[in-house]
Structure 1
Amino acid sequence: MTSTADRETLPSDVIPVHYDLDLIKLDLSAFTYDGQVSISLEFKQQASSIFLNCKELLLHGGRLIVDGSDSDINISKIECDKKAEVAKLSLERPTPGSGMGVLEINFSGSINHEMAGFYRSAYKNVEGKDDWMFSTQFESCDARRAFPCFDEPNLKATYDFSITVPENFTALSNQPVKESISLGDGLKKVSFERVPKMSTYLLAWACGEFEYVEDFTDHEYEGRGKLPVRVYTTKGLKEQGHFALHNAKKIVDYFSEIFHIDYPLPKVDLLAVHEFSHGAMENWGLITYRTTAVLFDEKTSDSRYKNRVAYVVAHELAHQWFGNLVTMDWWSELWLNEGFATWVGWYAIDHFYPEWDVWGQFVTQESLQTAFALDGLRGSHPIEVPVKNALDIDQIFDHISYLKGSGTIRMLSSHLGVETFLLGVSKYLKRHAYGNATTVDLWAALSEEAKTDVAAFMSNWIKSIGFPVLTVTEKLGHIIVEQKRFLSTGDVKPEEDQTTWWVPLFLSEKSFTTGSENTTALMSKEATIKGIDTNCYKFNNNQNGFYRVNYPAERLVKLGEMRKQLSVADRIGLIADAAAMALSGLGSTTGLLSFLAALKDEESYLVWAELIEQLGRLRSVFSESSQDIRDGLKRFTLDLVTPAVEKIGWEYGEDEDFLTGRLRALLISTAGGSGHKGVIAEAQRRFELFTSGKDKSTIHPNLRLAVFRIAIAEGGQEEYDAILNEYLSTSAIDGKEICLSALGRVRKPELIQRFLELMLSDKVKTQDKHTPAISLSNNIHARHALWEFIRKNWETIYKQLSGNMVVLDRFLKNSLNKFVSLDVKEDIEKFFVDKDTHGFEKGLAIISDSIKGNANWVQRDQEDVRKWVKELVKT
C-alpha cells in the first residue's frame, strides 16, 4: 500500500484501463465459482510487483502480457495480506516504465451469505420451497470480494462481463445482453455489452429465476429511442413492481431534463433482492433494492411503503448521474454522492406527488431531525470526513453523509435559488463526466453559475463537526442573535465552539418594519438585527437552514398562537427545536410540554407525527423516573390525541388522501398505546377477527402495525403466538417487518425472552435483525433485557453479524441508544473495553453520548416535570 498524509491507496505503478471478467464455473450446491479476469493496464513506472485488492479469493496464478513484447512476464509469487485486503503479485522480471499490457489472473471465490461481494439470498419460490437468488453488492470495498481488482473509486475503467449460468436462469448486469450461447449440459454463457468507464463498486451482476414488468421512457434518447425500464423479481412477485416502474420511467426523463444530460446507458433495470444490507444500491444500469424499497401491492401494502418506494427509486436514479457518471475522488467525499442524491430524490418526488408535502416530510424525523440528533453528539463527524483507510468507510454511510449532507444542500439551493443551483450542478456533471471530482469542483461550478464564492461560505458546513443554535434576545425594535455549536448534552466547551458558520436567516419580508434593511445571513458569532417587527418574525422560514433556533419563552408562546399562519414545515421545526432545547438544557421541558399542549387542534399528519415523536421520546427518557411522572405523561398524551382520534375514526374513505390515511394510523397507534379504552377494545376486536381467519378484511393494511402493537401490548401468550404465526406465514412484502415491529412491544418477561431468542434464530434474516432491536429498545419493559441478552450472547451476535459490519453497527446503535442511566453507560463501555470493536467503534461513541444526554436531561428536569404533570394534567 502507498500511504500519504490523507489516505492509504494502492501503488500507482500501473493504472487499470479495462477489465474483461468471465465467471466460468458456478457450483450452486457448494456456492463456489471459478473466474478469469484480464485487466488492461497502463504502465506508469517500472515495478517488480503489482498490487491489487483481493478478499476471500484464491488466486491461482497468471501472467502479464506486455504490448509489443515477444514474451510474457509470469507471476512468480502471490502473497495476500488479509488485513489490508491486498494481493502482491511478484513478477519474474519488472514491468516497463511506460506503455500498455494485460494482466491475466485465474481465481476462485465463494458465493457468500453475508450480503456483500457476490452473495446469495434465500427466499420461498412459487411452489413454497426454499430457493436462492444470486446478486452482488460492491459498495464500498467489496468488489475485491468477488474478483481481484483495483478497488478504489478513482481507478475507473471499462468492463466486459460474461457469466455461465443454468439455462433456466436469467442473467443481468449493468448493460444489455450481447449474446447468449447454449453450452449443453443445461448451461449457457451470457455476455454483456461493454460498460462505460466507471468505478469498481458500481459493477454488478445477478442471476436466478427472474421475471419482470417493462415500460419505456416517454422521452426519445438520441440514437437509442425510448429506453426500456424493467423491474425484475423472483417469480410470482413481478406485479408488485408496477408502482416502482411507473415512477422510474418518469424520473429518468425528469433527471435527464433538469441535469441537461441524457441518461447515458441503453437500459434501466431495477432488481428486488430478498436479502439486502442497505435500502438499495445504485449500480449503473442495474439498481438493486431491498424488497420493501421497490415492491408495493396496492391491495395489501401499508401506504407508508408507497412513499418509501417512490423516494428510494428516485434516490438511486439520481446516482446514475451524481455518483456514477461523476464519482467522488475518494471516500472522504462520500457526501457528494449521498447528500445530493438524497436532496434531489426528495425534489423529484415533490414534483410528481405535491400532495404528499414532501418538504414537510423532509423536516420530520424521516430526514432533518434524524441528522440533527446525530450531529448534536460529540461522536458525530464532519460531512466531509477524513478516511485514511477505505476499510473504515462503512461507518460513515450514516445520517451525516446522507441527511446532513442533503440538509446543507437544501440550505444552499434555497439561498442560491433552485434553478441556479441545478444549472451549476449540470455544469459540474458535464465538466467531470466519466471521471472523478471533489467538493471543490462542485463549489467551483456553482460559483460560476451563481456569480458568488460558494466555497467561502460553505466550507465550514462541510469541514466542521456539528451545527449552530441561534439564541435570540429581543430588545425594543431590534433583536440580538448569537450562534454557538449545539450539543445535546448541553456542555459545549470553549475549544469545541471555534467554528463561525455562515447562517442564512431566511427571515420573511413581513418580519421587518417598513424601510428597514432585510438582513440575510449571520456571518459572525453575534449580530444585532435592526428594524425587526418583534410581533411578527420567525427565523428559518420553511426550515430551509440546517440549524436550530432558541427563542425566548414568550416568543415561543406567540409563535404557537400564530401557528395557523405558519407552514407545516415551520410548525414541525418549532416543535423539534423546542424539544432539542429541552434536551440540552438551553430551554425547559415544562416549556416544551406547555407548547405541545396548545397543539391539540392540529390537523396536519406531519405536524402530529413530529409532536408524537417528541412526546414518545419524553416518555421514553423519563420512563425510569417515578411512577407519577410516567402516569402523568401517559395521561397527557391521551388528552392530546383523544379528540383527534375520535374525530378521524377507523374507516378509510374511497377518495381519502394519502396524508389523512397516515394520520389515522398514527393516532390509533398512539391512543391505544396511551390507554384509550375505546381504541384498545376496537383494536382487540379487529385483531381477533383477523387472526382467527374470520374476517381478514377487518384490518386495513395501513392499520396492521397499529392494531398488532396494541394487541401485543395489552395481551399475552395468545396474542404473541397469533402475530408470530402471521410473521411466519405472511406473503405480504411488508408483512414480516410489520410483525417484527409489533412483537417488540411485548411486555411479559417470558415473552420478551422468547422474542429475543427469535431475533437471533434463523427465522429472522440478518438484514432484519435491527427491526426487533429498534422495537425492543423503545419498549421500557424490554430494553434492559435486550442489553442483558446482547451481553450474554455477544459471541453469537458477533459471529452472525460481523460478516457485514454495516449490519452489526446498525444493530448495536439501535439496541443501546435509549438508556437513561449513567450506570448502564458505564456498564456498556466496560463490556466492550476488551473487545475488538473495529468497524463499530464510532457507533459505541454515539451510544455513550446519547445515554449521557438522556441522563443529564432526567437529572436536571424530572422535578419540574413532576410538578407540571401534577398541576396541569387531569387524573
Structure 2
Amino acid sequence: MASAASSRDVLPSDVKPVHYDLDLHNLDIKAFTYDGLVKISLELKTATSSITLNSKELKIGEGAVKVEGSNEDIKVTDIAYDTKAETAKLSFAKELPGSGKAVLELKFSGAINHKMAGFYRSAYKNEKGEDDWMFSTQFESCDARQAFPCFDEPNLKATYDFAMTVPESFTALSNQPVKETQSLGNGLKKVSFLTVPKMSTYLLAWACGEFDYVEDFTDREYEGRGKLPVRVYTTKGLVEQGRFALMNAKKIVDYFSGIFDLDYPLPKVDLLAVHEFSHGAMENWGLITYRTTAVLFDEKTSDSRYKNRVAYVVAHELAHQWFGNLVTMDWWSELWLNEGFATWVGWYAIDHFYPEWNVWGQFVTESLQTAFQLDSLRGSHPIEVPVRSALDIDQIFDHISYLKGSGTIGMLSNHLGVETFLGGVSNYLKKHAYGNATTEDLWSALGEKAGTNVSEFMSNWIKVIGFPVVTVTEVPGQITLRQSRFLSTGDVKPEEDTTTWWIPLMLTEQSYTESAVKVNALTSKETTIKDLNTDFYKLNYGQYGFYRVNYPAERLAKLGEVRQQLSVSDRVGLIADAAAMALSGYGTTTGLLSFLAGLKGEDSYLVWAELQAQLGKLKSVFAESEPEIYEGLKKLTSELVTPCVEKIGWEFKEGEDFLTARLRSLLISTAGGVGHQPTIDEALRRFKLYTSGEDKAAIHPNLRLAVFRIAIAQGGQEEFDAVMKEYLSTTTVDGREICLSSLGRVHTPELIQKVLEFTFTDKVKIQDKHTPVISLSNNHRARRAVWEFIKKNWDTVYAQLSGNMVVLDRFLKNSLNKFSSREVMADIEEFFKDKDNHGYDKGLLVIRDSITGNANWVERDAAVVKEWLKEHVA
C-alpha cells in the first residue's frame, strides 16, 4: 500500500477526502447495532478504478461514486476487506477520472461494542439502581474506522456534517451545537449538528443517553459568538459533581485564548463523564470525554487528591483544543507534539489558578520521576518514534510521549523564557491552523521568536532514546562534569553512549535563596567549571532539566544538611537522583540510606511523597530475597514517620491547605504500613465504626484509602468482606477505585486468590482491572500469585483485555515489573515466547529491563545494605 520509498503504511493517494456527511440511524439499544449512510466529498488525484479506505468490523452495503459534472452513479461492484490492515478496497464498474471532484456514498452497518473503542457502550447504574447503558465514541488513535468507513489518518483532514436518530428521551451530543431536531414519531428523533471545521477523523465524536448537564459561560466575549456556553454532561443523578470541572473549564478556555493570543475556535465547550473509559480523557474537539474520576468531584465525599486530578485533566484536554485539534501532528510518530505540550501547559494553567498546590513540585515528584523511570530502560523509545503503521501507535501513548515530552518542553520554555516560548507557540498555531505540522515546524516558530536555532540543541532530546546523567567530581574551587547515557541497569555499552546532549546546567552557588545563575550549557562530553564556590552549589536548580545528577557522596550529604534552604522541587530532585544512582550502581545504596535517614522532621508533602516512594521501592526490591532487609527498612521508615504522623494528627482543620491534607493522608498510610501501632489502632477503630454503619463520618474522605489499606493489611476475612461490601454499594465517584486499590493489600494466600478471581468477574469493569493488580504487584506477599494467576488463566486474561490493547499492555506492565528475580524473568520470557505479542511487545521489554535492574541491585548491594541497617537502625 505504501511506495518503496515511504516510511509509512498509508492509504493510496488516488483520492483525498474534504468533507463527510454522516448519518446514523436504526440504533438498536438492545441488540447494540446501528446502520449508517456516509457521503464523502473527494478530490480526485489519480485515475483509478478503486478506492481504498479504512473499515474495521463494519459491513459495507451498497455504494456508488458520483463525479461532479456527471449524473451517472458509478456503482461499487466489489468490496475486498483486509482485516489485518483494517481497510476496504472498493472496486468500480468504470475508471474514475484523475482530477475534479466526486462524492462517494456508502451504506454500512456496525455494532456498538463494549471495548471502549470506536462507537461503544458503557454500563452504569441509573437513578433507580437499575443496570443501564450510555453510548459514546473513542476514536484516537485509529478507531473512527470502527464506527464508519473513512480515511482514518491524521493528515487527511476534512469537515463534517453529522446526524443521528435516537430515542426521544435521549440527549444527543457531537462536536458542534445542535442545528435541528426533527421528531420522527415512534418515540424517535433525528438530531442534526452544525458543520465541524476541518479536522482529523480521530477527533470526531458523538454520544447519546439519558444525560443531565450543568452550564456556565466564559467571561470573555468571543468575536461573533459572545460568551461561550460551557457544559458538563453526566448520566442522571451525578450532574452536581460536575460543578468543579465546570468552574475550571470556563476559566481555562479564557486563559488559553489569552496566552495563545488565539481565540477558542468553536461555539461551545462540552465535557462528558463516561462510565467506561480506557484512558483518562479524550480531547474530541468541542465534546471532550472523561473517565468519571477525571471529571466528577463531590466536595463532601471525594478525596481531595481527585480535585487536583480533575483540575489538571480538564486543563490538559482543553489545551488540546488548540495544540492537537486546531493544529495536528502530521503523523503518529510526532504524537508527542500533542501530548507533551498539552501536559506541560495543562500544569502551567493549574499553577496559575492554584499556586498554593505547588504543581511544579508535583510535576517533579510524579511526572518527571515516572518519565525517568521508563526512559532509563533499554526498552524505552525516542520521544519522536518512527511509526510505520498507524496500528502500532497505541504502545507509544505512554510516559515518554506525555511526560518526557512535557519535561523537555518545560526545560526548553525555562531556557527561552516562558513569555518567549508561548509567543513562539502562538505563531506556530496561527501559521498552521486547521492543518498539520511537524516538530521542525514548532522548532522553527520558537527559533524565530527567540532568535536562536532551537532545532540544533533540541534535536537529540526528541530523536534519541534515553537521557543523560551528569557525574560531578570536585576539588576546591572547581568541578568537572561528565555526561553519559543513564540506564537503570547500570551497564551502558560504549555503542549506547555516543550521544552528546545539550544540557542546561542551571548552576546555583553561594546562596540557595538567590536566583539561579545560568552557566553555559554542557555541550560536550566533559567540561570543567573553575572559580566556583564549592562550599555551596547545586546543579539543575529548580529541576527544570531532564537529566540526573550524580554527586560525590560528601556533596550529597552537605546538600542534605542545608536542604531546608532549597525549594521543594530541588529537595525532591536530590532524593530521586540519589535513589536512581543507587539502583544503577553509579552511586551507593548505603549513601542513599544515609541521605534518607537524615531527612527526619521533613514537613513537605511532596518531599515526603518522594521519600516514601523511594523507601517503598527499596522494600519492594529487596523483600523477595532478603526479608531481613525488608524488616530493617520498615524500622527505618518507622523512625522517620513516627514523629511526623504524631505531630500532624488525624483531624482536618477548617481552612487547612491542600498539601497539608495530602500530607496527613500519606503519613497515616505510611505509618500504618510499617507497623506504627497507635496509627493502626486508630485506623481499625474508625474502620469498624464506618463499615458497621454506626458512624459514616468516622473516616474523613481524604483518609478512606489510608484506613482501608491498613484494615486490609492488618485484618482477614472480616475486613476483606467489609471493603468488598463497600465496593459493591458505594455511590461516591472515587469509592470503587479506592476499594480496589485497598484490596491489593491482602496478605493470606486465600484472600490474594480471591482478589485475583474477583478482578476477572464482571463486577470489575475492564477499565479498572489494573487497579487491584497494581496494588497486588506492589505487595511482595502477593506478587508471585499474580504471575501464577496470569499464567494459569491467560486465555481469560487475554480474552477480557485484548479487545483494547492499551488496556492489556498497561495491565501486564503493572503486574510484572516489580520482580527482582532472574528466575521469574526467565519464566516470563519462556511463557510469552510462543504467544502473539502484538500490541504488548514493547511492554514485555519494559518488564524485562525493570526486573533486570532490580536483580542487579539486589545482587550488588544486599550484603552492604544488610550491614548498614544493622549498624544504623535500632
Paired with 1:382 and 1:796, the residues of 2 have a C-alpha distance of: 34
Aligned partner of 1:634 in structure 2 is 634
Report if aligned partners of 1:509, 1:518 keep a CA contact under 8 Å in 2. Answer: no
Matched to 1:220, the amino acid is: E
Shift of 1:94: 1.0
Q: Deviations over 1:587-620 (max 9, x none)?
A: 0111101001111111110000000000000000
Q: Which is further off, 794-803 or 70-79? A: 70-79
Paired with 1:295 and 1:485, the residues of 2 have a C-alpha distance of: 42
Paired with 1:217 and 1:517, the residues of 2 have a C-alpha distance of: 41
Matched to 1:290, the amino acid is: R
Report if aligned partners of 1:40, 1:102 keep a CA contact under 8 Å in 2. Answer: yes
Matched to 1:53, the amino acid is: N
The aligned runs of 1:589-668 (5 Å cut-off) are 589-668=589-668
Provide the secondary structure at the position in 2 that maps to 1:212: strand
Aligned partner of 1:19 in structure 2 is 20
Q: Deviations over 1:129-152 (max 9, x none)?
A: 000000000000000000000000
Report if aligned partners of 1:20, 1:159 keep a CA contact under 8 Å in 2. Answer: yes
Q: Deviations over 1:745-795 (max 9, x none)?
A: 000110111110000000000000010110000001101000000000000
Aligned partner of 2:177 in structure 1 is 176
Q: Deviations over 1:699-723 (max 9, x none)?
A: 0000000000000000000000000
Paired with 2:216 and 2:71, the residues of 1 have a C-alpha distance of: 52
Aligned partner of 1:741 in structure 2 is 741
Aligned partner of 2:352 in structure 1 is 351
Shift of 1:73: 1.1
Q: Which is further off, 447-456 or 471-480? A: 471-480
Provide the secondary structure at the position in 2 that maps to 1:272: strand
The aligned runs of 1:43-82 (5 Å cut-off) are 43-82=44-83
Q: Deviations over 1:149-192 (max 9, x none)?
A: 00000000000000000000000000000000000000000000
Report if aligned partners of 2:509, 2:536 keep a CA contact under 8 Å in 1. Answer: no
Paired with 2:406 and 2:735, the residues of 1 have a C-alpha distance of: 30
The aligned runs of 1:321-336 (5 Å cut-off) are 321-336=322-337
Q: Give the direction of change, closer, same or farther, for the CA distance of 1:437–1:653 in structure 2 (3 Å limit).
A: same
**1:849 matches 2:852:** no
Paired with 2:576 and 2:418, the residues of 1 have a C-alpha distance of: 25
Provide the secondary structure at the position in 1 that maps to 2:379: coil
**1:415 matches 2:415:** yes
For the aligned residue pairs, the C-alpha RMSD in angstroms reads 1.1
Matched to 2:709, the amino acid is: R
Provide the secondary structure at the position in 1 that maps to 2:95: coil
The aligned runs of 1:412-561 (5 Å cut-off) are 412-508=412-508, 510=510, 519-561=519-561
Report if aligned partners of 1:671, 1:679 keep a CA contact under 8 Å in 2. Answer: yes
Paired with 1:91 and 1:152, the residues of 2 have a C-alpha distance of: 23
Paired with 2:164 and 2:449, the residues of 1 have a C-alpha distance of: 46
Aligned partner of 1:222 in structure 2 is 223
Report if aligned partners of 1:272, 1:294 keep a CA contact under 8 Å in 2. Answer: yes
Report if aligned partners of 2:65, 2:73 keep a CA contact under 8 Å in 1. Answer: yes
Report if aligned partners of 1:625, 1:862 keep a CA contact under 8 Å in 2. Answer: no
Paired with 1:680 and 1:690, the residues of 2 have a C-alpha distance of: 15
Paired with 1:178 and 1:508, the residues of 2 have a C-alpha distance of: 59
Matched to 2:37, the amino acid is: Q
Paired with 1:436 and 1:185, the residues of 2 have a C-alpha distance of: 44
Report if aligned partners of 2:505, 2:518 keep a CA contact under 8 Å in 1. Answer: no
Shift of 1:627: 2.8
Paired with 1:689 and 1:739, the residues of 2 have a C-alpha distance of: 17
The aligned runs of 1:622-771 (5 Å cut-off) are 622-771=622-771
Report if aligned partners of 1:213, 1:241 keep a CA contact under 8 Å in 2. Answer: yes
Q: TM-score, normalised by structure 2?
A: 0.99
Q: Which is further off, 840-849 or 500-509? A: 500-509
Provide the secondary structure at the position in 1 that maps to 2:570: helix
Shift of 1:70: 3.3
Shift of 1:519: 2.6
Paired with 1:320 and 1:510, the residues of 2 have a C-alpha distance of: 44
Shift of 1:2: 2.0
Paired with 2:16 and 2:376, the residues of 1 have a C-alpha distance of: 42
Paired with 2:133 and 2:26, the residues of 1 have a C-alpha distance of: 17
Shift of 1:69: 1.4
Report if aligned partners of 1:156, 1:200 keep a CA contact under 8 Å in 2. Answer: yes
Aligned partner of 2:292 in structure 1 is 291
Shift of 1:630: 1.5
Paired with 2:613 and 2:448, the residues of 1 have a C-alpha distance of: 42
Provide the secondary structure at the position in 2 that maps to 1:527: strand
Paired with 1:853 and 1:741, the residues of 2 have a C-alpha distance of: 26
Paired with 1:188 and 1:788, the residues of 2 have a C-alpha distance of: 52
Aligned partner of 1:199 in structure 2 is 200
Paired with 2:58 and 2:157, the residues of 1 have a C-alpha distance of: 22
Aligned partner of 1:867 in structure 2 is 867
Shift of 1:5: 3.5
**1:141 matches 2:142:** yes
Aligned partner of 1:380 in structure 2 is 380
Q: Deviations over 1:313-362 (max 9, x none)?
A: 00000000000000000000000000000000000000000000000000
Aligned partner of 1:775 in structure 2 is 775
Provide the secondary structure at the position in 2 that maps to 1:384: coil
Report if aligned partners of 2:720, 2:743 keep a CA contact under 8 Å in 1. Answer: yes
**1:258 matches 2:255:** no
Q: Which is further off, 355-364 or 3-12? A: 3-12
Paired with 2:441 and 2:823, the residues of 1 have a C-alpha distance of: 48
Shift of 1:511: 7.2
Q: Give the direction of change, closer, same or farther, for the CA distance of 1:556–1:147 in structure 2 (3 Å limit).
A: same
Q: Give the direction of change, closer, same or farther, for the CA distance of 1:518–1:245 in structure 2 (3 Å limit).
A: closer
Paired with 1:7 and 1:864, the residues of 2 have a C-alpha distance of: 51
**Runs of 4+ residues deviating >3 angstroms:** 509-512
Aligned partner of 1:109 in structure 2 is 110
Paired with 1:631 and 1:170, the residues of 2 have a C-alpha distance of: 57
Matched to 2:635, the amino acid is: R
Shift of 1:509: 5.9
Aligned partner of 2:269 in structure 1 is 268
Shift of 1:518: 5.8
Provide the secondary structure at the position in 2 that maps to 1:104: strand
Report if aligned partners of 1:468, 1:547 keep a CA contact under 8 Å in 2. Answer: yes
Report if aligned partners of 1:517, 1:531 keep a CA contact under 8 Å in 2. Answer: no
Shift of 1:517: 9.8
Q: Deviations over 1:245-267 (max 9, x none)?
A: 00000000000000000000000
Paired with 2:588 and 2:511, the residues of 1 have a C-alpha distance of: 26
Q: Deviations over 1:786-815 (max 9, x none)?
A: 000000000011010101000000000000
Q: Deviations over 1:21-77 (max 9, x none)?
A: 000110111000000000000001111110000000000021000000131211110
Paired with 1:37 and 1:807, the residues of 2 have a C-alpha distance of: 31
Report if aligned partners of 1:472, 1:551 keep a CA contact under 8 Å in 2. Answer: yes
Sequence identity (%): 76
Q: Please, which runs of 5 or more residues in structure 1 have no aligned partner?
A: none
Provide the secondary structure at the position in 1 that maps to 2:89: strand
Paired with 1:59 and 1:614, the residues of 2 have a C-alpha distance of: 55
Aligned partner of 2:796 in structure 1 is 796
Matched to 2:299, the amino acid is: E
Paired with 1:213 and 1:797, the residues of 2 have a C-alpha distance of: 39
Paired with 2:388 and 2:185, the residues of 1 have a C-alpha distance of: 49
Q: Deviations over 1:562-588 (max 9, x none)?
A: 111100000000000000000000001
Paired with 2:752 and 2:407, the residues of 1 have a C-alpha distance of: 38
**1:99 matches 2:114:** no
Provide the secondary structure at the position in 2 that maps to 1:114: coil
Matched to 1:695, the amino acid is: D
Matched to 2:623, the amino acid is: S
Paired with 1:95 and 1:17, the residues of 2 have a C-alpha distance of: 17
Shift of 1:470: 0.1
Provide the secondary structure at the position in 2 that maps to 1:696: coil
In the comparison of the two structures, how many residue pairs are matched? 871
Aligned partner of 2:302 in structure 1 is 301
Report if aligned partners of 1:511, 1:538 keep a CA contact under 8 Å in 2. Answer: no
Report if aligned partners of 2:59, 2:110 keep a CA contact under 8 Å in 1. Answer: yes
Q: Deviations over 1:395-445 (max 9, x none)?
A: 000000000000000000000000000000000000000000000000000
Shift of 1:476: 2.6
Provide the secondary structure at the position in 2 that maps to 1:288: strand
Paired with 1:749 and 1:618, the residues of 2 have a C-alpha distance of: 23
